[in-house]
Amino acid sequence: MKVLHRDVVPNGPGVVKLVPVDSDDLWLVYNLIATGDRVMAVTFRKVLRAKSGGKNSERVAMKLEIEVEAMDYDKEGAVLRIKGKNILQNEYVTIGAFHTLQLQLCRPFVLTKETWDSLALDVLHQASDPGATADLAVVLMQEGLANILLVGRSVTITSSRIEASIPRKHGPAIVGYESALKTFFENVVQAFIKHVDFNVIRCAVIASPGFTKDQFHRHLLLEAERKQVRPIIENKSRIILVQTSSGYKHSLREVLDAPSVMKMIKDTKAAEEVRTFRDFFDMLSNDPARACYGPKHVGIAHERLAVQTLLITDDLFRSSDVKSRQKYEDLVKEVKKAGGIAHIFSSMHVSGEELAQLTGIAAILRIPLPDLDDIEM
């Protein structure tokens, strides 16, 4: 994300001009903007023109500033829709009229906020950090099922999902098996070529249980040779093979855990999230009294100053209820002050999704608190 202009007072009002570059950035913007902020951008509006004989309405490009009331993030389409009331004097649009702004990639916009709290500043800082993109393309497959995922810095997108029914292989049906498998691989190769852009990603991972990945890898290289697909041939060395236990999406965790992949992405947020989540899980199985989840339990643990690591999804920050947002913010700040670590998980990543299933907030504690078990969640 490019920050074109910045004029911010910490914990005070401020203005920034941003240009989102990839879908990750849109996600950050989504987290950044809250109800009540003001966004100005170039947009289109259908305007009624009193014109005899000819078009009655016309799409006019104009610069509008709206006060944000609601937001809608479209992951697959990479667009962020912001709905709100117009507050800028405009010849076409009256003040107070509703409008929906569409923030797209490579289009600048100006954001004005009343209070730039620490979290918002954090996000801004993260956004402008050019390095540390996870950018991994993962083909998670098993016999008959393949998921192609693009792991970004804060977002994981499922580019495509291919399912095929592959018969068993014994007796006369073997021919059927081979041909069905071949068709399946063909489809996956096509999707791979379409979605995986080696200029953007660091490396491609093919993961599966059993030997499907080896078979597919072989097939992919052969196809690339045959059809002379340059990007794949040049980047042969950037394709890694990883063993997982299944081809379902939640096995992405295992992929990110694998040492070969970890090496490539160790400085990125996604890897960190996976590591932290794994630590939480280990703690829960080894010493259940030292791990807890759910807002009530975590709240109690925090009161007793027992929280060592806080895991929280950014979903909770985006709640429109300002009070609860404030509460979580305070929680994060206090944990940090007490010497603990707070990890904000992107709910668009695999581990973030899993954390969200667990109510979205969890903690690893310094001291065991066995009586939490008795308190209702």
Partner 1 sequence: MPRKVNYGVDYDDDYDEYDYGYEVEDNEETPPEQETIKRSVWRCAVCTYDNDETMSSCDICGVLRGPLLKNLTYDEKRAGFNSLAANIFYLKSSRVHSIVVGEDEAVKVSSKRLDSSDVSTAKDKHNRLDEITFNMQSSGKSLLSLMPKERNVMVANSSSSRNGGKAHDLASNLKNISFSAESGHSNDTNPGRANSYAQYKPEKWMLPGKTEHSLAQLNLAIVGHVDSGKSTLSGRLLHLLGRISQKDMQKYEKESKLQGKGSFAYAWALDESAEERERGITMTVAVAYFDSKIYHVVVLDSPGHKDFVPNMITGATQADAAILVIDASIGSFEAGMDGTKGQTREHAQLIRSFGVDQLIVAVNKMDVVDYSKDRFDLIILQLGTFLRSCGFKDSSVSWIPLSAAKNQNLVSAPSDFRLSWYHGPNLLDTIDSFQPPPRDFSKPLLMPICDVIKSSSQGQVSACGKLEAGALRSGSKVLVMPSAIIATVRSLERDSQPCTIGRAGDNVAVSLHGVDANHVLAGGVLCHPDFPVAFAKHLELKVLVLDVATPILIGSQLEFHIHHAKESARVARISSLLDSKTGKVAKKAPRCIVAKQSAVVEVTLHEAVCVEEFSKCKALGRVFLRTLGRTVAVGIVTRIVEV
Residues near partner 1, by CB under 8 A: 165, 167-174, 176-178, 209-211, 215, 243, 245-246, 248-250, 254, 281, 284-285, 288, 292-293, 354, 356-359, 373, 376-377
Strands 136-142 and 203-208 come out as parallel
199/357 with CB nearer partner 1: 357
67: nearest Cα among 97, 27, 30: 97
CB of 119 to partner 1, least distance (A): 25
Do 274 and 256 contact (CB within 8 A), yes or no? yes
Strands (E), the chain: 2-8, 14-19, 38-48, 57-74, 79-86, 98-103, 109-113, 136-142, 145-151, 156-163, 203-208, 239-243, 291-293, 307-313, 341-345, 361-365
Do 20 and 106 contact (CB within 8 A), yes or no? yes
What strands lie across the sheet with 136-142, from one edge to the other?
Answer: 156-163, 145-151, 136-142, 203-208, 239-243
86/142 with CB nearer partner 1: 142
48/174 with CB nearer partner 1: 174
CB of 166 to partner 1, least distance (A): 9
Do 345 and 361 contact (CB within 8 A), yes or no? no
CB of 189 to partner 1, least distance (A): 18
CB of 182 to partner 1, least distance (A): 13
24/315 with CB nearer partner 1: 315
279: nearest Cα among 345, 339, 189, 370: 345
Positive or negative torsion for Cα 57, 60, 62, 66: positive
Residue 195 in 3-state DSSP? helix
35/158 with CB nearer partner 1: 158
CB of 373 to partner 1, least distance (A): 7
CB of 248 to partner 1, least distance (A): 4
CB of 285 to partner 1, least distance (A): 5
Contacts of 214 (CB under 8 A, 6+ apart): 241
114/178 with CB nearer partner 1: 178
56/179 with CB nearer partner 1: 179
102/215 with CB nearer partner 1: 215
CB of 106 to partner 1, least distance (A): 36
Residue 376 dihedral angles phi and psi, to the nearest 5°: -65, 150
100/187 with CB nearer partner 1: 187
Contacts of 123 (CB under 8 A, 6+ apart): 28, 31, 32
Q: How far apart are CA 159 and CA 188, in angstroms?
A: 11
CB of 144 to partner 1, least distance (A): 9
